[in-house]
Structure 1
Amino acid sequence: MELILTLVSGLAWTLVYVEAVRVGFRDRTYAMPVAALALNLAWEATYAVGDLRSGVSPQGVVDLVWGAADLVIVYTYLRFGRAELPAFVSRPVFAVWSALLFATGFAVQLLFLAHFGAHDASRYAAFLQNLLMSGLFLGLYAARRGPRGQSLLIAVAKWLGTLAPTVLFGVLEGSGFVLGLGVLCSVFDLAYIGLLVRRPGAVGQAS
């Protein structure tokens, strides 16, 4: 069961990243909320190093693949993101803001690591930033007044990719903290899926 849930999560999140890259270039925007993107990139870089320090491991390789995909999504943000901000946000201001945001993502991961240790920090940080991402996807939908730069495939894959480790760590391993965060993620993810399904033409954006 543990292997199955791990594989479901890995496959689902890989679909999220691949689709986010595709949709970002298609719609000339970024397909993942930037604060969550910064935390994701930092998480993958931080724990890929830890996983691979003692040798090549499946999780370490997956983290590297996800990190590479995140870098492409970061490119779409840097390439198209300024166009979605008010005109008074100059290129230098956008550059400084972006650098600060991504540096903060790494600082947060290192603080979690220092306080909780690698085992707990990787899980707590992952679920907290996952919950943040769930809420920010709803905010992205509202800010763009529709599903531009988003897709039903991203929404469903994100939900399943989070639900599988929620069952694994929250139910099978008995972590009430992870279970609570995972349930909250599902509430927001299902609300987001509902928005995309109700939006005319939203289903077609998953293809």
Structure 2
Amino acid sequence: MELLLTLVSGLAWTIVYVESIRVGFRDRTYAMPVAALALNFAWESTYAVNEARAGVSAQGVVNVVWAVADLVIVWTFVRFGRAEFPGVGRGVFAAAGAGLFATAFAVQWLFLAHFGTHDATRYSAFLQNLLMSGLFLAMLVSRGGPRGQSPTIAVSKFLGTLAPTILFGALEDAPFILGLGALCAAFDLAYIAALASARRSPSPPRPDPGSRRPA
């Protein structure tokens, strides 16, 4: 059961990342909220290294696949992201992005130092997952429609979170994880419904990069 749920989670989240790459290049934007993207990339690269030190495992392989996919999503943010922030100069955008990703790594390493590998992987993953669920809803609102988003991403995220919620929350009898997973599920289902509704309405035009002040 543990291997099955790990593989379901790995496959579902891989679909999230692959679809985020496809949609990002299609719509010339980033398809994952950047704060959650930074935390995810930091988590996956950190624990891919940790798992590799302990030997080959299913989760370790999954972490490497996710980290590589995240690198491509990070590139879509670097390449297209400034258009989402009219008036922000190139230097400010680069500095803010670098600061955000550096902070994400610091947060992951602080979790690891304080809780140890076993608890840190779970606590940080579910907390940032809940943040991502809320930020997807915020992205839908801030963009005024489904641009840079996809039902495939929304549904796969829901399933990819549900599997480890069952594994770490229910089967391992961890109420904190189970509660965070339930909150993620509630936000994810709300996002799926909101996204479906938004797709039935016309989207506003993409922000005009020409409206930015010169860098």
Q: Runs of 4 or more off by more than 3 Å in structure 1? A: none
Q: Percent identity?
A: 71
Aligned to 1:67: 67
CA distance in 2, matches of 1:13, 1:137: 15
Normalising by the residue count of structure 2, what TM-score does the alignment of the two structures yield? 0.91
CA distance in 1, matches of 2:98, 2:124: 21
Gaps of 5+ in 2: 202-215
CA distance in 2, matches of 1:23, 1:200: 14
CA distance in 2, matches of 1:155, 1:46: 25
Is the 2:168–2:174 contact (alpha carbons within 8 Å) kept by the matching residues of 1? yes
SS in 2 for 1:199: helix
Structure 2 letter corresponding to 1:153:
T
Aligned to 2:41: 41
Aligned to 1:193: 192
CA distance in 2, matches of 1:55, 1:158: 28
Q: What is the RMSD of the two structures over their aligned residues, measured on CA atoms?
A: 1.0
CA distance in 1, matches of 2:122, 2:3: 17
Q: Within 5 Å, which residues of 2 pair with 1:171-186?
A: 171-186=170-185
CA distance in 2, matches of 1:129, 1:182: 11
CA distance in 2, matches of 1:39, 1:20: 16
Q: Please report how far the alpha carbon of residue 71 of structure 1 lies from its aligned counterpart in structure 2 after TM superposition.
A: 0.5
Aligned to 2:118: 119
CA-to-partner distance for each residue in 1:30-57, whole Å, 9 max, x for gaps? 0000000000000001100000012232
Structure 1 letter corresponding to 2:63:
D
CA distance in 2, matches of 1:155, 1:118: 28
CA-to-partner distance for each residue in 1:90-120, whole Å, 9 max, x for gaps? 1000010000000000000000000000000
Aligned to 1:141: 140
What number of residue pairs does the alignment pair up? Answer: 201
SS in 1 for 2:173: coil
Normalising by the residue count of structure 1, what TM-score does the alignment of the two structures yield? 0.95
Is the 2:133–2:188 contact (alpha carbons within 8 Å) kept by the matching residues of 1? yes
